[in-house]
Structure 1
Amino acid sequence: MSPRIPPPPLFRQQALLAIAEFSNLRPILGKERGSNMLITCLHAVFTLPATEMLESQPPSNQTLFTRTVQALDQLLQSFIAENSSSGSLQFLLQYLETWLQSDRAHEHQRAMRSSILFLKDTVERLSLNPSLPVLRMGHLVGFLGLLLRDPVKDIQRYAHQGLVLLHQLLQQKASGKGSSARCQARCKNCQFPAFSDQNISNFQLIKAFGMYFSDSEFSELISTVLEALRIPNLSRREVASEMLLVVLEMYGPRMQQVGTIVRNLYTEISSVSYIDVQRDILLALSLLGKQHPRKVVRALLTFSLPFQSQAINMWKALGAEEKMAHRVIRILSLELRDRPSCKDLEKTQQEKTQLGTLAALNTIYELLYIREFRSTICSTFPGLLLGLLTEFRYLFELGIVEGNTSCISEEISEVKFLSPWRTCLEALKGLIWTTDYWEVFSFVKLQQGWDLFGKVETYSQGVTVLARAMSQYNCEIEGVLDQAAEGLRSSEERNHLVVILIFTEFLQNKATVEKLSRRAILSFLNAAGRDADPLVRGISLQGLSSLALQPEKGHLLRAQLVPLLAHIHEDSEQAVVGAMSVMAEILSRLELQGAGSIIIKVAHQLQRFFEDERDQVRRAAILLFGNAIYNGGQKFRKAMKNQAFRSLIPLLFHLVDQNLEVVMITKSTFMRCTIFLKWEFGKELFNQLAWGHGPSAQRAVFLYLMENNSGNHHLFLLQAISYLKSSQKNMKNAAIKFIGGIIQEYFSELCFYLTKEDLIILKRCFEELKQDGDAHLRRFALTYWEGLQEIARLMP
């Protein structure tokens, strides 16, 4: 048949019959040539005009059309007889399926008719000769099952015929030789539903075939259904979605190739834009996750190195139910702990960047910021905390770590691609921040504790700072202690250092002593004392000397504070800083019992050194003051609150100290004072102290100070006056700005609270400033002099 000159209809019929006869000759046509010839013939018949157009034609033309179709049937049967290999049959089926997607109804129906004829002949041959290759049964059932809901009745009928044929074939195989009597009886009672005006449900369809399907056939069926979700036809997509869910509901628990299914679901949800399809795929994943939680989580972890943004909705779907969210986090925690040793990695030649523990780490980091997992993260906080801290040690061992933390973006939402070490650090920070332990976060951040996790040499200090913050703010003490006991019994030695560092720090917290008996504490520390790691043994000795086990030492430690308090008044900078350092260590050891009444004197005298000209002295005094205010115990809490309140203005101005180290320590102590005084908007204040810059941040801190201290603004004004004479220009300018702001914005309150004696002091100060040699100060005094006069006039 010439491709350029269309043959007359009679010649077309004769050509088809001739080709069918040639197929029976020997030698037979080659596989490729025979396939190409069959494709050409199928195309020639399928593209003939619709049968409706023949109604106006003479009967001879209609007869000719019928015979042409019959000739194609004969050709098709000849092809099947001569090409019984699996590849040839699959090739023909795939070609017919392309015609089944045709927009022209008559082409669609002709392809369907030929497909059923093909299936009928193939099934008959398979029935007679079981050794012949088996068809892709899962794919065929899925494809024909979708056509059961076709709007064209003939298509439905053809699809039903095909499914009946396939069902008969499966029955024959299941009830054949070697099958049990129970299986044969079940097959006999299981018949495929008859065709009727009422559609066969997906439940009936899957029930009829599912009992015979292998795991690979289920995978084929699901793949076929997923492919159908891509088509624009809404009704077909709805049928496919329903079939997918029915398959998983009925037979999901017995499926083995879960990883393949999950990867297929991921591929589909990444490629389709239909909202309804994405919703149903996520529903299917959620269902599969309940049936095979660990396999599904492991399959999704393959999209976590690096983490694929398209996978985020799949994790959300898994965490939609709280019970399932708990299982997911628990599995991820187990995966995080699966850390092959360096020797094992060398044996398997596995890339360090492909480790499952790193995939779990990436995923945990992402899940911290997903609403569906928020409550689960809170309830599993202790285990996640210890898992992340231990992961640092593992990364040190592998050598995949960065030592410089200065490049780390504090805006977590802007961090896109992180190294494993940075991911671990951000996950640790995120765990504490998202669970709303912002006080702990602020303590570590403002004491530059996060930087300590960057090197193996300072890692232990970093854990200690974090544990101290948790102890001070009573963060998950009991839960972490339970995990610590389990961690010390773990065969993974890198756990032991983490838990002993935390445990010894928690011995300073009353909750630890209330939860654990003396015997339990001793048992824990003695077990750590027998550890193979000398560092673990050394830290356990520190724990044995704590006040939790030797309360009588508290009196001796408090007695040392008196002579040390005298040493801080010496002329030598080294002696002063040294004495303050020793006092800080003593106070940290006295946290369980408190330092007693002397702590009030310590806090009061330390404030005198805030204005010391020596940078290191100022830094040490401000740092020690932050420790002292938490050491008064319940008995002296009120007195220490007074000391913290008195320090607010000095600390406020040292936020602009000329020495950057002093500024950082001042931020920490200022923040600790505000938490101790239970300010509102503490978290927002911390944001400004940690990441704020310029006038806007200064303005925010000013407002938080004023709003949390209503009725005390006049006291702040009187304190701030002394800083107008500061030797540091930054502090002098800050005082000018602060005093001006109070007079302007809190004028009414000053009128009410200032006394006549206060006003005399203010006027005397402003009179002196008007004569000052600094033009800036003179201008400031002149600007606000009238304000003071107005306050004096309005005072009651």
Structure 2
Amino acid sequence: MTRSYVQKLSTILLDAITDKDPLVQEQVCSALCALGESQPEEALRACEEHLRLHEKLAHPYRTMILRAMETVVSNHISELDKDMARAVILLASSEMTKAKDLVWDWQQAASNVLVAVGKQFIGTVMEEMLCYGHVAARAPRELVLARAEADILRNVFQCFSTKVLGVKVETKDPALKLCLVQSVCMVCQAIRSSAQGGCFHFAQKAELVAQMMEFIRAEPPDSLRSPIRKKAMLACTYLVPLEPALEEQVRADMVHGCLQSVMAVLTEPEGDDDRQEPLYLDTMQALEDLLTSLLQRDLTPQGLQVMVEHLSPWIKSPRGHERVRALGLSACLLQHFLEHLHVSALVPFHNLGLLIGLFSPRCADLWPATRQEAVSCVHSLLYLQLGYEGFARDYRDTAVERLLVLKGGLVHSDPATLFHTCHSIAQIIAKRLPPNQLISLLLTLFEGLGDTDKNCSRAASVMINCLLKERGHLLQEKVPEIVSVLRSKLQETGEEHVRQATQNSVSLLASQHCEAVVSSLLGSPLPFDSHTCILWRALAVEPSLTAQVLELLLQKMSRDVPFKESRAFLLSSCPGRVATLLPLAATCALSEVMSVPASAPAVLELYPQLFAALLLRVSCTLGVQLPRTLQAKERRAPGLALASRNLDPCSSAAETLQVMLLRGGSEDVVQYVEREGGWESLRTSTGHEEGVARLASAMVKFAGPRLPLVMKALLGAHSSVYEVQRVTSTAFLAELLNSNVVKDLMLLESLLDNLAARQKDACASVRRLVLRGLANIASGSPDKVRAHGAQLLTSMISGLDDGDDPQSLVALEAMLGLAKLLGLVEPWDLRSVLLHVAVRIRPFFDSEKVDFRSASICLFGHLNKACHGNCEDIFLEQVIGGLVPLLLHLQDPQASVAGACKFALRMCGPNLEREDLAEAFQKHLQEGRGLHFGEFLNTTCKHLMRHFPDLLGRLVSTSLFYFKSSWEDVRAAAPMLTGFLVLHVEPEQRQQVDLEQLLTALQLLLKDPAPAVRMKAAETLGRLVKFA
């Protein structure tokens, strides 16, 4: 077949490729292939020329032509000369990049042409590259260093990135990559074996490492199909020892990239391919060698830590096979370190604790192989420590060697056996660990509590507990750091086993450093978050520890000042009280600890101290505000994970007192006080005394046996610098005397003595409550009043005479107390004070304060009642002097005062020794009956003027005083009384009355704004006609 004929036939076929029928196109393509079988170069040249000349030929037709070319090239590649091959390559490269968009079939056809041509020449390239490698391996060593970079490696890389027949093609062929890696290995080995290799500066080292890492990263991460990554890691292993040293980031990227490429690869199932298992083992060995070579460059504790940190994510991986490999690599690195350890001076193995903390929890891993590798790591680390301590390399420590025995037992997966073994391992670690490494070990183990493998998390917990028991006494200075880490761990995870582990840890730590733990927890921000509360409650599990904690918290709460004076505003005239943080935190902590049922024995043991301290805490926080920073937190609290307890100082103290009573078995006390509204009263300044009384009453009813020690604890408040605490304790003790239980408990005498001792207190409220308590004996132990009558009366008289109380509240309490006591004391004791009391209370008859009027008038009645039939003349004078006020205050606007007057007048009647007058008082002044005042006053004045006409002047002058009374009804009653007296007196008694003064006074009353007063004044003026 002549060339011209072939060209003509080719042209006809190539023109026919554009036929619209696909079957025709396929037939034309087959004809081109047949032509190429007989005349390959002519056919290829015609196709190349046709595509080059027809740029606008549509891509489906171009694809058909390229397919035909691929067939011809594949079948006749050995027959093509270099010029034809180069032309085909240029064409195929051009076709691949001609379209802007992806046209798969067209571009794939062009690529296939390139591949077909490349197969002919790739072998040549590979042979050339290996040739350079062998040159380096066999050349004289003194020549290798000079030629390694300048000639050998330059030519190797030229081959690798060479142009195939002058056209640069991207290299993806695995065999070519392997050849490059093998050549690099040979060159590096040649350099290392040279006598001057140690000081040779390998300028291309970083570039070669980057190329090897590119190969490694290009390998599929989920399968192991070729030895490329193994060979590339081996090349890196040979490169690492050469100078210069790789930069830190380059080393890190190398380790990270190799681990990423190898660790996750699953081994192929057995039986698939006999070659896979050796390849897997060789690859792992290559990785181990690489890591070992990197470690050898920095054979120090820090260098070891860097390598382990790279392995750490794989050690904690959720996939078992990755953990096994990571622990295996770690064990090999540690063994290498141990075998090459050379200590020229005694230096510390400063990160021993951190490394043991990473490996030791894996002794309980779900995979047996991982467990055993973890023990091997711990075994090597402890021997490394012995080496750093100066022990010989062949020294064998009995305790550390026991790890190898325990290692065999880790084959079994029984949880109880595993955790028992972990405890034994922790004991060995505790024996051999230097004291300065304990804290880093614990902190690392605390991190292990959050391990996704719950077995390892529990193992960390077991080891922490063991270490705290064995070596916890060394940790006092580290307690704040440990407590902070435990709190953070609780915040990170809500897992129940983590919560239990942290609680166990803080409990064990507190058993050895109770004060340090309590102080650290008290330093937590207020309000305590739920995680801090969990740690507080952990201290309530063991009774003896709980008692220590409660005592410490009581000290913290009571010894610091409860508040500080602070002006809320610059222009504020009176300072406000702001709570101090430590007592407030201690109060909240007490509540948390006592909220745990297990704290009951400790609460019972410290019941008196807790009760007294918390009650006094309530008193000294009345009206105390939170610091502004905490007020802001309280407002934000609903959106935060904070504990639900009230942070208001007084409310938190009251709530803590309730928690204490409930935990101490006094539920009835809490409920009784609640029913009586006592808890609410206890929190307010105005109702505090009443709340204390309610609480004392409840204690008497339901917790009587506890009162002796509670009373003893409260006596300490006698010397308190805070008045309110002295007030609270006095109020409580005073209320106790209201019950006969104190007599049964043999407390009466001591209570009386203690209260009497407080009569000189600088605080008027304390003195007032002392009198209340002394008077309460009348209702609590009336049969004991006579025995103490003189003492009681003396105290009451002292209260009446109290001159340091501007509001006279002490005197008021004395009057109320005397009213209760008078009927129970010995007549002889009473007789000596009657006159004094009557004189002292007289001014209060007309007090502006209703309580004073009522109490003084009522007491006057009791004084009269106490001396019925035995009234001395001097006291009779007081009775007569009190008649006018008593009669007029029957019209007092306050019913309680009017009632007191009725009682007092009824009691006065017998002492006036006039039967008809006494009967009148009894008839008209019955309790609960209405009073016709005019009728009663008329009757009374008639009897008075009949029996005591000489009293006219005195009675009238006394009534004149009330013409100016501030109460309208009393002003009206005063002239009315005068009028009835004048009405019933004989005219000859006129000289007793200063008519001029009386008329002037009545004249003024005629101008009174109240019509009733003016009317009574006019009525009285009419009766004065009698004296005309």
TM-score tier, shorter chain, comes to: 0.5 to 0.7
CA distance in 2, matches of 1:31, 1:530: 81
Contact (CA 8 Å) 2:562, 2:583: kept in 1 or not? no
Determine the structure 2 residue equivalent to 1:707. none
How high is the sequence identity, in percent, across the aligned residues? 20
Cα distance, 1:369 vs structure 2 = 4.8
Determine the structure 2 residue equivalent to 1:6. 219
CA distance in 2, matches of 1:582, 1:449: 32
Change (3 A) 1:280 1:512: same
Cα distance, 1:483 vs structure 2 = 0.5
2:459 paired with 1:239: yes
Code of the residue aligned with 2:379 in structure 1: it is: V
Code of the residue aligned with 1:454 in structure 2: it is: T
2:726 paired with 1:481: no
SS in 1 for 2:328: helix
Determine the structure 2 residue equivalent to 1:99. 314
The 5-angstrom pairing of residues 124-163 of structure 1 reads 127-129=342-344, 134=349, 136-150=351-365, 152-163=367-378
Determine the structure 1 residue equivalent to 2:609. 383
Determine the structure 2 residue equivalent to 1:426. 655
2:403 paired with 1:193: yes
Determine the structure 1 residue equivalent to 2:437. 217
Contact (CA 8 Å) 2:349, 2:385: kept in 1 or not? no
- Structure possessing the higher radius of gyration over alpha carbons: 2
CA distance in 1, matches of 2:726, 2:245: 76
Change (3 A) 1:345 1:78: farther
Gap runs ≥5 in structure 2? 1-212, 411-417, 568-576, 629-642, 778-784, 794-817, 825-833, 867-891, 901-927, 929-1028
Could you tell me which of 44, 47, 56 is aligned with 2:261? 44
Cα distance, 1:166 vs structure 2 = 1.2
Determine the structure 2 residue equivalent to 1:202. 422
Gap runs ≥5 in structure 1? 178-184, 403-413, 588-594, 596-613, 623-649, 651-796
Cα distance, 1:197 vs structure 2 = 3.2
Cα distance, 1:210 vs structure 2 = 0.5
CA distance in 1, matches of 2:408, 2:895: 93
CA distance in 1, matches of 2:434, 2:721: 41
CA distance in 2, matches of 1:54, 1:67: 18
Cα distance, 1:300 vs structure 2 = 4.2
Could you tell me which of 492, 495, 499 is aligned with 2:729? 499
TM-score computed with the length of structure 2 as normaliser: 0.46
Contact (CA 8 Å) 2:734, 2:769: kept in 1 or not? yes
Contact (CA 8 Å) 1:467, 1:506: kept in 2 or not? yes
Determine the structure 1 residue equivalent to 2:193. none
- For these two proteins, the number of residue pairs brought into alignment is 576
Offset from partner CA, 1:748-790 (integer Å, 9 cap, x none): xxxxxxxxxxxxxxxxxxxxxxxxxxxxxxxxxxxxxxxxxxx
Offset from partner CA, 1:46-93 (integer Å, 9 cap, x none): 3445276698244xx766655544443333233223346766543431
Contact (CA 8 Å) 2:219, 2:261: kept in 1 or not? no
Contact (CA 8 Å) 2:700, 2:739: kept in 1 or not? yes
Contact (CA 8 Å) 1:316, 1:372: kept in 2 or not? no
Determine the structure 1 residue equivalent to 2:20. none
CA distance in 2, matches of 1:359, 1:131: 47
CA distance in 1, matches of 2:251, 2:441: 30
Change (3 A) 1:538 1:430: same
Contact (CA 8 Å) 1:395, 1:401: kept in 2 or not? no
Offset from partner CA, 1:134-191 (integer Å, 9 cap, x none): 35323432443333344545434422322221121233345669xxxxxxx9967764
Code of the residue aligned with 2:614 in structure 1: it is: L
2:621 paired with 1:372: no
Contact (CA 8 Å) 2:561, 2:580: kept in 1 or not? no
Determine the structure 1 residue equivalent to 2:99. none
Contact (CA 8 Å) 2:487, 2:532: kept in 1 or not? yes
CA distance in 1, matches of 2:899, 2:396: 86
SS in 1 for 2:617: helix
TM-score computed with the length of structure 1 as normaliser: 0.58
Could you tell me which of 172, 188, 194 is aligned with 2:387? 172
Higher relative CO (CA 8 A, sep ≥ 6), structure 1 or 2?
A: 1
Change (3 A) 1:391 1:174: farther
Code of the residue aligned with 1:28 in structure 2: it is: A
CA distance in 2, matches of 1:72, 1:358: 59
Contact (CA 8 Å) 1:229, 1:277: kept in 2 or not? yes
Could you tell me which of 309, 319, 339 is aligned with 2:560? 339
Could you tell me which of 335, 339, 347 is aligned with 1:120? 335
Change (3 A) 1:148 1:444: closer
The 5-angstrom pairing of residues 591-610 of structure 1 reads none
Offset from partner CA, 1:524-581 (integer Å, 9 cap, x none): 854x5787x55588469759976789423668645757999xx9xxx99999976665
Determine the structure 2 residue equivalent to 1:306. 527
The 5-angstrom pairing of residues 448-597 of structure 1 reads 450-451=680-681, 453-455=683-685, 463=692, 466-467=695-696, 470=699, 475=704, 476-488=706-718, 496-506=726-736, 515=746, 522=753, 526=757, 534=763, 538=767, 542=771, 550-552=788-790, 557=819, 581=855
Determine the structure 1 residue equivalent to 2:626. 400
Offset from partner CA, 1:354-402 (integer Å, 9 cap, x none): 8222122113334555433346445534322332233345546965399
Cα distance, 1:296 vs structure 2 = 3.8
Contact (CA 8 Å) 1:229, 1:237: kept in 2 or not? yes
Change (3 A) 1:459 1:344: closer
Determine the structure 1 residue equivalent to 2:237. 20
Code of the residue aligned with 1:358 in structure 2: it is: L
Change (3 A) 1:269 1:215: farther
Cα distance, 1:478 vs structure 2 = 1.1
CA distance in 1, matches of 2:483, 2:461: 15
